[in-house]
Amino acid sequence: MTQKEKPLLIYDTDYPDVVVDVGKVTLGEKRKKMAGDHIRAQNSVLIPAACALLNSGGGVITLEIENEDYNYKNYGIGLDMETSFRNHVINSPDLTKYFNDIQQNSKFLILKSQSREKLSSAPALLKQHICSLNSGLCQKSLTSVASLKPDEAFEFLEERKADSRQRYEEKTATLELNVQEENDILEATANFFERDKLLHRGTLPFTESTHVVFKGFATKNVLKYVKSTPPNYVPAFANTQGYLIIGVDDKRTVVGCQRQVMYGSNSWHREFTYHFCKAGGKVKYEIKILDVYDASRKYGYVSAVKNELFCCVVFSFNPDSWIMKGQLVKRLTVTEWTDVIVAADPDLSKLATDFVTQVSVSGAPLLAKPIYSKQGLICLEELQNHLFAGTVE
């Protein structure tokens, strides 16, 4: 789910908590009667603010209640809003572990819960210790493209981080050689890429596969699909390599596209990359336009996109993850987000042997840094338990 970024402002107050005002929001059962566009517009502001709240160590979201007869005790915040928070923000059934709600006349406040349970205790947040709605990562999955969930993205990034470019290419080559049918398809596709023209309604001598995808786009919304589909396929193929062929249907039949469809490919190139290596290379792909003929005339065109395997990781867009920074709720860039996902504590062997970890980045909010103290000294939690025994719930 990709939210449209909004200029959310952080307000200066006399209180220590950061305050984000998201404007007017309808709450309770009346949300069921709202138009879908109205609900999406409100959620596109509220959900990023909640995400930033969790990623920034706490604060307050304040909103003006749009429906005058609203009462929190009677109506709650609204089932669809609860579902959005559970599914897109915390991936946990219990909102009270992460948020507290308070109505103050026409104002409604959402606060980060003071529960002692760590943010990373939510199942989907267990590993990446950051709240994200969408990773922005796509990967080739058989003949389609799959969007990786944040926890899946963590596994993917860890694998890429562990592999150097040479090791990854060797592993990929070995996999292809062990699957002869896939290897034959790739060879036939490479030969096809060298051609200049095709016969309309002709049949290609190879099928779709893990590394080859056909798109016929035989619909009235062809321009819309041509502009929206390749920006996901190109990064996904760059993460796994392969060919995207436009103007061929899933039965291998050459149907062709008109010239204006090919012009739509000008907007395909969007590059969001992250490097584990020092090469700093760019995504490499080649677009070739093949003429399509029928018996007597030129019928249209086929576009073939050849994608090379990228050395590190390619994103389709910046992840849907926010943080409070300065006076704004800011969307994290690919680099900022991935730096957090793959962060690790320093090697303790480089420190004195009598120091212990007090705060670890593997189980802390976004802004936390690793903290160490001398072994044997009383830590904050022990001091709290000693001074306030039996009073902390």
Which DSSP string corresponds to 241-272?
-EEEEETB-TTSBB--B-HHHHHGGGG----E
277-298 burial by CB neighbour count: b if 16+ within 10 A, else e? eeeeeebebebebbebbeeeee
State the CATH number of the domain containing residue 18. Answer: 3.30.110
Q: Which domain holds residue 228?
A: 138-315
| Residue 383 within any structural domain of the chain | yes
- Rounded Cα distance, 298 and 119, in Å: 61
The answer to whether residues 239 and 313 touch, using CB atoms and an 8 Å cutoff, is yes
Average pLDDT over every residue of 145-166:
76
* 204 and 309 co-located in one domain: yes
Q: Are residues 117 and 179 both part of a single domain?
A: no
What's the pLDDT band for 13 if we cut at 50, 70, 90? Answer: low
The angle that helices 180-193 and 165-177 make with each other, rounded to 10 degrees, is 110
The answer as to whether 348 is a domain residue is yes
CATH number at residue 209: 3.30.950
Query: Do residues 224 and 117 both lie within one domain?
Result: no
For residue 221 the two structure tokens come to 């919304």
Q: Which of 18-27, 119-128, 235-244, 301-310 has the lowest mean pLDDT?
A: 119-128
Residues 115 and 153 grouped into a single domain? no
Q: Record the pTM.
A: 0.70
The residue out of 69, 94, 125 marking a domain boundary is 125
State the pLDDT at residue 210.
75
293 contacts 201 by C-beta, under 8 angstroms: no
pLDDT of residue 64: 92
pLDDT computed for residue 124 by the predictor: 42
- So what's the pLDDT on residue 378? 67
- pLDDT above 60 (res 295): yes
CA–CA gap between residue 366 and residue 181 (Å, rounded): 46
Higher pLDDT, 203 or 141: 203
Both 106 and 184 in a single domain? no
| End position of a domain, from candidates 125, 158, 177 | 125
Alpha helices of the chain — where are they, by DSSP H?
Answer: 36-55, 72-75, 79-84, 150-162, 165-177, 180-193, 222-228, 230-240, 259-263, 334-341, 380-387
Domain assignment present for residue 1? The answer is no
Rounded distance, CA 306 to CA 288, Å?
8
**Which of 18-27, 46-55, 206-215 is predicted with the least confidence, judged by mean pLDDT?**
206-215
Q: Does 130 fall in a domain?
A: no
90 and 157, same structural domain? no
Q: Is the same domain home to 185 and 310?
A: yes
CA atoms of 16 and 13, how far apart (whole Å): 8
Whole-number percent of the chain with pLDDT over 70? 69
DSSP state of 5: P
In DSSP terms, which residues pair with 293 in a beta bridge? 199, 298
Q: Going by C-beta distance under 8 Å and a sequence separation of 6 or more, which residues neighbour residue 56?
A: 18, 323, 324, 325, 365, 366, 367
143 pLDDT band, cuts 50/70/90, is low
Number of domains in the chain: 3
| Domain match, 170 and 261 both | yes
Regarding whether 157 and 277 lie in a shared domain, the answer is yes
* Cα-based distances in Å from 337 to 63, 153, 317: 28, 11, 12
More confident residue, 356 or 239: 239
Tell me the C-alpha distance between 279 and 301, whole Å: 36
Nearest by Cα to 143 from 4, 237, 29: 237
Out of 90, 125, 160, a domain closes at: 125
SS3 121: helix
Give 158's pLDDT tier (boundaries 50, 70, 90): confident
Same domain assignment for residues 65 and 114: yes
Selection from 38-42, 57-61, 185-189, 282-286 with the highest mean pLDDT: 38-42
pLDDT digits (tens, 9 = 90+) for 217-273: 655 555 566 566 666 677 887 887 778 888 888 888 988 877 555 544 444 555 688
Q: Determine, yes or no, domain membership for 40.
A: yes
Residues 250 and 181 in one domain: yes
Q: Is residue 333 part of a domain?
A: no
For residue 63, give the nearest of 6, 12, 105, 23 by alpha carbon.
23
Token pair 């926010």 in the structure block, residue = 322
Greater confidence (229 vs 310) lies with 310
Q: Which of 112, 140, 215, 306 is catalytic?
A: 215
Evaluate whether residue 339 is within a structural domain: no
- Average the pLDDT over 280-285 and give the result: 78
Residue 81's contacts (CB-CB under 8 Å, 6 or more residues apart) are: 27, 31, 43, 46
Residue 121 has pLDDT above 50, yes or no: no
Verify whether residue 197 is a known catalytic residue: no
254 shares a domain with 168: yes
Report how many helices (DSSP H) and strands (DSSP E) the chain contains, helices first: 11, 18
Does 359 map to a domain? yes
Distances (CA, A) of 92 to 71, 72, 89, 119: 25, 22, 9, 11
